[in-house]
Amino acid sequence: MGILAGADTRLLVQGLTGREGTFHSEQMLAYGTQLVAGVTPGKGGTEHLGVPVYDTVAQAAASTGATASCIFVPAPYAGQAICEAADAGLELIVCITEGIPVADMLKAVAYVQARGSRLIGPNCPGLLTAGQTKIGIIPGHIAAPGRVGVISRSGTLTYEVVAGLTAAGLGLTTCAGIGGDPVLGSRFADLLPLFEADAETAAVVMIGEIGGTDEEDAAAVIAEMSTPVVGFISGRSAPEGKRMGHAGAIVSGGQGTAQSKIAALEAVGVPVPETIGEIIALVAARV
C-alpha cells in the first residue's frame, strides 16, 4: 500500500517541457505513473510526451483531476511554483529543484501548510511506492514491492538501501526522499507516523545525516511507534563548521553531531550501524 502516493495518484509535472522535466517524466511514465498533465507557462494547448500541457496548475488540475505535482522548475521560480500548486488544491507536492533560496522556502512551506497540502522536498529525489507510482528521480528498476519503508535525507544512500532491500528479497512499500536543505516541507517526524499507520510496512529504514535536530526530533516519535526502525547517520567524520554536501548538513556549536543523533536513536531502541552495508541484515531480523 505505502504512503502518500499510489496507483491512483494523478500527477502533473511543473516544468514538463524542460530538459530535466522531460527526461524524468519519461522515466515516470515508463514506471506506470499516471502522468496526466504538464504545466509550462506560454505552452498551454500543446502536447509533450503525449501529455497535455497547460499554462497554469489551476487549469491543469481542473481539466485532468490531477491530485499531485512534481516540480522541475528552476530555483529562482520554484518557490512560486510550490505556492501555485498549493493554491490549486493539490494534495501532494514533490519539489525536486535544488538551490532554492532559504527565504523563498520559508514562505513556501508556510503557504503550503496553511492550505493543507503535503510538500516533499525541495532538493530531494522524491517519492516511490514500489510497483505503483514514481514521483521524482528515484530509479524505478532498483525497487521491488515488499514490506519495508525508507525515509531519507540523502539521495545516493537511499538508492543503495533500496537496491539492497530488493536484492535481499525484502522489497519496499514507499521510499520518501525528503531532502537535505535547512527548510523542508516534510521531516522525519512528519512522515514516520504515516509508515506506522500503513499495515503493509513491517519496518522502516531512516537515513539521516549530520546537521539540524531532525533525527533527535524523530526519536521522540519513534518512541511511540510499534513498527521497528533501523537508523543510519552519514557524516560521522565531518569536521565541525564545514558544510558537507547538503546545505543542512553542518555541525555548529556542538549541535547536529552524529554522536548526538546516534545517542538519541539508540535511547529509543533504534540500532544505528556504522556502515550502510549492515542495514539490510538488521532489517531482515525485524520483519
pLDDT tens digits, residue range 12-62? 999 999 999 999 999 999 999 999 999 999 999 999 999 999 999 999 999
Is 243:250 a contact under the CB 8 Å cutoff? yes
pLDDT above 50: residue 68:
yes
Q: Residue 242: its pLDDT value, please?
A: 52
Q: Which residues pair with 144 in a beta bridge?
A: none
Q: Can you give the three-state secondary structure of the chain, one letter per residue?
A: CCCCCCCCCEEEEECCCCHHHHHHHHHHHHHCCEEEEEECCCCCCCEECCEEEECCHHHHHHHHCCCEEEECCCHHHHHHHHHHHHHCCCCEEEECCCCCCHHHHHHHHHHHHHCCCEEECCCCCEEEECCCEEEECCCHHHCCEEEEEEEECCHHHHHHHHHHHHHCCCCEEEEEECCCCCCCCCCHHHHHHHHHHCCCCCEEEEEEECCCCHHHHHHHHHCCCCCCEEEEEECCCCCCCCCCCCCCCCCECCECCHHHHHHHHHHCCCCCCCCHHHHHHHHHCCC
Active-site annotation, residues: 246
81 backbone dihedrals φ, ψ, rounded to 5°: -65, -40
Q: Residue 2: its pLDDT value, please?
A: 85
Residues 225-233: what's their mean pLDDT?
98
The architecture of the domain spanning 138-284 is 3-Layer(aba) Sandwich (3.40)
- Which band of pLDDT confidence, cut at 50, 70 and 90, is reported for residue 256? confident
Q: Residue 182: its pLDDT value, please?
A: 92
- Which band of pLDDT confidence, cut at 50, 70 and 90, is reported for residue 267? very high
Examine domains 10-120 and 138-284 and report if their fold is the same. Answer: yes
Q: Which amino acid is at 121?
A: G
The architecture of the domain spanning 10-120 is 3-Layer(aba) Sandwich (3.40)
State the sign of the Cα–Cα–Cα–Cα dihedral 140, 143, 149, 153. Answer: negative
How many percent of the chain have pLDDT more than 70? 93
- Among 121, 134, 127, 117, residue whose Cα is nearest residue 67: 117
- For 173-215, write each residue's pLDDT tens digit: 999 999 999 999 999 999 999 999 999 999 999 999 998 999 9
pTM: 0.93
Q: Residue 252: its pLDDT value, please?
A: 46
Chain position carrying cell 538519541: 264
Neighbours of 38 (CB within 10 A): 28
Across the chain, mean pLDDT equals 93
Chain position carrying cell 522531460: 22
Residue extents of the structural domains in the chain: 10-120, 138-284
- Which band of pLDDT confidence, cut at 50, 70 and 90, is reported for residue 248? very low
Q: Residue 176: its pLDDT value, please?
A: 98
- For 79-89, write each residue's pLDDT tens digit: 999 999 999 99
Non-local (6+) Cβ contacts of 264 within 8 A are 215, 216, 219
Q: Residue 249: its pLDDT value, please?
A: 47
Is 185:119 a contact under the CB 8 Å cutoff? yes
Q: Which residues pair with 14 in a beta bridge?
A: 39, 71
